[in-house]
Chains A and B, each alone.
Chain A
Amino acid sequence: METGVARVISLSPARHRDDVLTGAGLLPVLPALRELLPGGGLQRGSVVTTGDWGLLSLALAAGAVADGAWCAIVGVPAAGVRAAAQAGLDPERVLLVAEPGPSWAQVVASLLDGFDIVLLRLPDQPSAQLRRKLEAAARRYGSVLVVAGDWPGAQSRLLVADAEWTGIGAGHGRLRARKAQVIASGRGAGERTRSAWLWLPGPDGAVTAAAEPAGVAGTGPHGGYSGTAEPLVSSG
C-alpha cells in the first residue's frame, strides 16, 4: 500500500521529541553491563553488535526501557518474551516485528524514527550501502541499533566468549544460572577491549555481575577457565 506509507510518513513533518530521554546522549544499561560500554551506556545514534541472538541482546535494551525508552525487536520470531521480562526488559514497551519481509531495512529505518532502541537479527547480510543508510538513520533519530549478526563499522561489538551452565548434572538438577564472560571491543585502535563476567541469566532470570572465576589469570578472551559446574542451590 504505497500511498498509505507515503501518507503516514508525511504526517510527521516536525517530529515530537517530547518522549525522548534527555541525558548526555547515552541510553542507560543494566548496571552489570556498564563497564562493557564506553561511557557506561549505549551511545545514541550508534550501532552495537552482540554476536548471535540471545539473552545478551535483550539485556542490552533492558536498562533503557526501564528508564522509559521503547524497544522494537525485528526479525526474531522466537524472541523469548518471558526471558526478556525476567532480565528486566518490560514487555509492555516492546514492539515485535517478527517477519520484516524483504524490505526489512526500510522497516528498521522507520522504527529507528520512533523507537529509542531497535534490536535486529539480520535476515541477510546487508550491503555496505544499506548499512550506511541505517547507520545514518540511527544517527539522525538518535536511536540505537543493536544487531545480532555481523556489522562492519559497529561502534561496539559484544560477544559471549565463555559460558557455563550451573545447577544441572548428568540426570539431576536443572538449569539454574549461566555464568558468562562477555568481551566488548570498540572501533578504532584507541578503544580498549573490555570484559565482564555476568550471570546471563541468574537464577531468577536477571542479568547481574558475577564474580570472576577463581584461578583465571587476566581477562583475556579465553581465560582458560575450566572450573566445574557449581550448583547455586543444592540440586534436588
Chain B
Amino acid sequence: MTTEPTTQTTPAIPAGAKWTRRHLLDVDELSPDEIELLMQTTDAMKEVLSRDVPRVPALRGRTIVTLFYEASTRTRASFELAGKALGADVINVAASGSSVEKGESLIDTVRTLQAVGADALIMRHGSSGAPYLVARHVQSSVINAGDGWHAHPTQALLDLYTMRAHLGDPSAGSGQALRGRKVVIVGDIAHSRVARSNIWALTTMGAEVTVCAPPTLLPAGMRPGQPRSEEPLAMPPVRVETDLDIAIQGADVVMALRLQKERMSHGLLPSTREYATLYQLTERRVAAAATGALVMHPGPMNEGVEIAPAVASSLQSVIEEQVTNGVAVRMAVLYLICRSRA
C-alpha cells in the first residue's frame, strides 16, 4: 500500500461528467467529458482485471447478448469477458446456426432477444447503420460492435485508451489528453469503420490526425484534387497524405489497418505486393517517426502486407496491449450503459 496520498495519483473526473446514454452507436456523438469519463472508468476496470479473481458484482442479474452477423474473434470474446467480469449473464448468438438462417429478419431477431430479457445487445452487422435501425425498435441498449464501413466505437475507444496511457497528459482537462499528438492512420481508410471511429475519437481528444492511403482507398471527400465534402456529418478535418514516407515523419503514433483481400479483386489495387512496397510499416519507415512512437494495429494482422513482422513484434508495438485494454474499455462501456438504464 502507498504512503503517498492516493488521491493525487488519480485525476479528478470532470465535474460535468455524466452518462445518460442508453446506446453506444458511434463515437461521433460523444462529448469530450463523456470520453474522459469512459477513460477514467476504464482505469478502474483495469484494476479489477489485475486481481486474482477478476470479477465484481456490478451487473449481477443483467443479461447481455452478443449478436454477430460477421466473423469476429477479439471483439466478441472481449465483450463476453467484459460482461462476465462485471457479473452479468452473457449469451452469444451468431447469425450462422440461429434462426437468421431460416430467414428471420433482423428486427424479429432482436425483438426475440429483447423478449428473453436482454438488457444490452452487442451487435456486429455487415450493413452500415444496422445498429441504428435496431435501436429504434427495441427497449434494450444497443452497443455497436462494428457496422459495415461505418463505425466501430469500442475499437476507437480502446485505441484512444492505449494512446492516452502512453502519451496522454493525465492532468489535462477533457478533450486535451492527446492535444498536439500526431497520429498517422495508414491503410484502407475508405472501407474502414476502425479508421472512421478513430478519426472522431482522436480529434475529439485533441490529436492531429493524418490519414495515409493510395487514392483509391481514400473516401470520396478526401481524395487529392477533389473538394472536401461539405457534409456536416462526413468527418472532422484531417490531413491527407498519399506518401507514407512523408506522412510518418515525426508521428507519435502509427496505426496500420488490415488490407482486405477483396480490395484487390475489385480493382482498387494492382497487387498486394505493390501495396506492401508503398504502404507497409517497415522498420525503416517507423524509424522516421518520433522516437518511441507507438505502433498499433486493430487486428487481425496480415504480417508482411500492411505491417512487417519485425515491426509488429517490436518494443514499440502496443498491439497486444490494445487487445488487453479492449476488455477493460468494454467493461466501462457496459457498466456505464447498463447502469444508466436502471
A, B co-complexed:
no
Residues on B facing A (Cβ under 8 Å): none
Residues on A facing B (Cβ under 8 Å): none
